[in-house]
Amino acid sequence: MFKILTFPFHPEKGGFDDSLLDRFLLNKQLVSWKAEFFQEGGRSYWTVLLFCDPLAGGESPPPELDLNGPAKAFFHRLKEWRKSRAEKEGVPVFLVANNRELGEIARTMPQTLEALKTVKGFGAAKLEKYGKDILQLVQSFQERK
């Protein structure tokens, strides 16, 4: 299946509201994507073409509903990191990591790259690009507990 989503830039938020994208991808496996930035009428937009497969089992609950207090707090910290990283790279947040991946990281608190590799969706490219940052976030979060 495919879907085209377009997101206007919100000057008051300083970014794009990608919550619709998160909700759409909640019960789907992203196969491939293409994003384009454009301007029309003085406004800026991202439009994203997504090719997805449905996940087995249908609708999934939001990852944070399945997390305890500390894991839920860490999930929200991971989402902040993801947003910052995506803005720095100029890409939509789901390209850094989707909510399901962040939920699994918050649940398992991986201590090594090998452990992080067991999170579905974290292959060699994501491990190389984001692995050390995520492990530092895990360590920092656990030291504060």
**pLDDT top residue among 24 and 108:** 108
**CATH class assigned to 61-145:** mainly alpha
Please state the domain extents for the chain. Answer: 1-59, 61-145
Question: What would the pLDDT profile of 66-102 be if each residue is shown by its tens digit?
Answer: 677 888 899 999 999 999 999 999 888 888 998 889 9
In the chain the beta strands, taken as DSSP E runs, fall at 2-10, 15-16, 28-40, 43-54
Q: Which of 27, 26, 21 is nearest to 3 (CA)?
A: 21
Percent of the chain with pLDDT over 90: 37
Q: Give the pLDDT confidence score for residue 60 in this predicted structure.
A: 52
* Residue pair 110/138 in contact by the 8 Å Cβ criterion: yes
Q: Give the pLDDT confidence score for residue 23 in this predicted structure.
A: 74
* Residue 50 to residue 34: CA distance in whole angstroms: 7
Q: Give the pLDDT confidence score for residue 19 in this predicted structure.
A: 74
Tell me the C-alpha to C-alpha distance, in Å, between residue 44 and each of 7, 23, 86, 108, 118.
9, 22, 17, 38, 37
Is residue 130 left, alpha or beta, with left meaning phi > 0 and alpha meaning psi from -120 to 50? alpha
Q: What is the pTM of this model?
A: 0.60
65 confidence band (pLDDT: 50, 70, 90) = low
64 confidence band (pLDDT: 50, 70, 90) = low
